[in-house]
Amino acid sequence: MQKIKVAIAGGTGYTAGELLRILINHPNVEIISVLSTTSVGESISSVHRDLFGDTDLKFTDQIGDPDVVFLCLGHGLSKEFIDNTPLKESCKIIDLGNDFRLDPCYKGREFIYGLTDTFKEEILKANNIANPGCFATAIQTAITPLAKAGLLNNEVHVTAITGSTGAGKKPTDTTHFSYRDNNISIYKLFTHQHLGEIARTISTLTGKESPAINFVPMRGDFPRGIFASVYTKWEGGSADDAVNIYKEYYKESPFVHVSEKGISVKEVVNTNKILLHIELHNGYIHIASIIDNLVKGASGQAVENMNMIFGLDQTTGLKFKSSAF
């Protein structure tokens, strides 16, 4: 098979760095350009130091003629990129920002929401992808089986903690080491930007308005990973019935696994996996959901989407070595 020619726009951030690590080792990809407005001519490894010795690529301001472009830009900048960059009509776009998650049509392009384990059939026919957010991926994976089974009829309560890389590369008062180390804090209480895409997915699956998602996001004192603790009222039978709903829903999903034992973030860091653990307590179902925010929560899922729209196996280039310590 002829290799897929890839361009990456916004190449200096954490998400782009993770995408580069994956695509440099992808057997069906040739990276032809990594765009940056601030580092033109500099080597990729001068910014992403872990890639020293792995690539001779340099940042550029020339996109070339890609088959697909990944947009790793700041939120709100993807439309501006499309406006100002000549792309052939056949060039696919995979946007890792939030520009098209709720507003999927732009300049004649329709962006399919790329939650790979729920909208696979739509993605296989897509030309453009709105990649889901990291919190949204963890939370939706926890509740979409209930929505599809007609069992998501009451408000949902979520407390989820994320690593510091989820806030991006630019240092701020709440991301630098002195604040983040040995510290936990709440932010965007009940107002997080990923709530809109979660509600849209639930409405798509059920044909009715999503129940309230009461979301408490938290900053963790670690760099990578998300642990989401999700619960809602349970109306569906025994604990075995609950687990079977999830196992059936995700039986064709190569990266989603239902664990009988309790789970912890280290079990998914540096992988494209999602682990779920389901328990019933006092009339409630509790779902623990864990992901690596930079891999399954961003760049890994973006590569899954690329694989599917180009007819490759969903797992190509994504079978990473796990690390327990």
What local confidence, expressed as pLDDT, does residue 170 receive?
A: 79
Q: Is residue 316 part of a domain?
A: no
Regarding whether 171 and 274 lie in a shared domain, the answer is yes
Q: Are residues 221 and 155 in the same domain?
A: yes
> 215: number of CA atoms within 13 Å, CB side?
25
Both 52 and 154 in one domain: the answer is no
What pLDDT, on the 0 to 100 scale, is given for residue 74? 85
Q: Which domain holds residue 227?
A: 134-293
Q: Edge-to-edge, what's the strand order for the sheet holding 29-35?
A: 59-60, 29-35, 4-9, 68-71, 92-95, 128-130, 109-113, 105-106
Q: How does strand 226-233 pair with strand 284-291?
A: antiparallel
pLDDT score, position 172:
83
Q: Which residues does the chain have with pLDDT short of 70?
A: none
Distances in Å between the Cα of 146 and the Cα atoms of 90, 106, 289, 310 are 37, 32, 14, 30
Are residue 85 and residue 113 in the same domain, yes or no? yes
Residue 268 within any structural domain of the chain? yes
Note the pLDDT of residue 177.
Answer: 86
Render pLDDT for 237-288 as a digit per residue (tens, 0 to 9).
999 999 999 999 999 999 999 999 999 999 999 999 999 999 999 999 999 9
Round to whole Å and give the CA distance between 318 and 29: 13
Q: What is the DSSP string of 5-59?
A: EEEEESTTSHHHHHHHHHHHT-TTEEEEEEE-SS-TTSBHHHHSGGGTTT---BE
Are 173 and 279 members of one domain?
yes
Sign of the alpha-carbon dihedral angle for 136, 142, 146, 152: negative
Contacts of 196 (CB under 8 A, 6+ apart): 101, 102
Q: What is the CATH number of the domain that holds 305?
A: 3.40.50.720
Name residues whose C-beta falls within 8 Å of residue 295's C-beta, 6 or more positions apart in sequence.
18, 22, 270, 271, 272, 301, 320
User: Looking at residue 187, which CATH number applies to its domain?
Assistant: 3.30.360.10
Of 154, 196, 195, 192, give the one whose Cα is nearest residue 285.
154
Q: Are 278 and 259 in contact (CB under 8 A)?
A: no
Q: Is residue 319 part of a domain?
A: no
Q: Which two tokens stand for residue 313?
A: 């196996």
Is 172 found in the same domain as 119? no
Considering the domain boundaries, does residue 210 fall inside one?
A: yes
- Specify the pLDDT at position 242: 98
Please check whether residue 117 lies inside any domain of the structure. yes
Residues 48, 64, single domain; the answer is yes
Q: How high is the pLDDT of residue 243?
A: 98
Same-domain pairing of 230 and 150: yes
Total domains in the fold of the chain: 2
Give the three-class secondary structure for 260.
coil
Q: Does the residue 253 lie in any domain?
A: yes
Both 266 and 278 in a single domain? Answer: yes
Residue 99 belongs to some domain of the structure: yes
Residue 267 lies in a domain: yes
Phi, psi at 162, each rounded to 5°: -125, 155
First to last CA, the chain: 38
What local confidence, expressed as pLDDT, does residue 324 receive?
A: 74
- Residue 237's CB is within 10 A of a number of other CB atoms, namely 12
Catalytic residues: 134
Instruction: Assess whether 88 and 151 both reside in one domain.
Output: no
Predicted TM-score (pTM) of the model is 0.96
Q: Which residues, including other chains, have CB under 8 Å from residue 177's CB and lie 6 or more apart? A: none
Structure tokens at 188: 């965007």
C-beta of residue 224 within 8 angstroms of C-beta of residue 166: no
Do residues 209 and 227 both lie within one domain? yes
Asked if 176 and 257 sit in the same domain, the reply is yes
Whole-angstrom Cα Rg for the chain: 19
Q: CB within 8 A of 114, min separation 6: which ones?
A: 94, 123, 126, 129, 130, 131, 132, 301, 302, 304, 305
Instruction: Report whether 65 contacts 86 (CB < 8 A).
Output: no
Residue 171: the pLDDT is 77
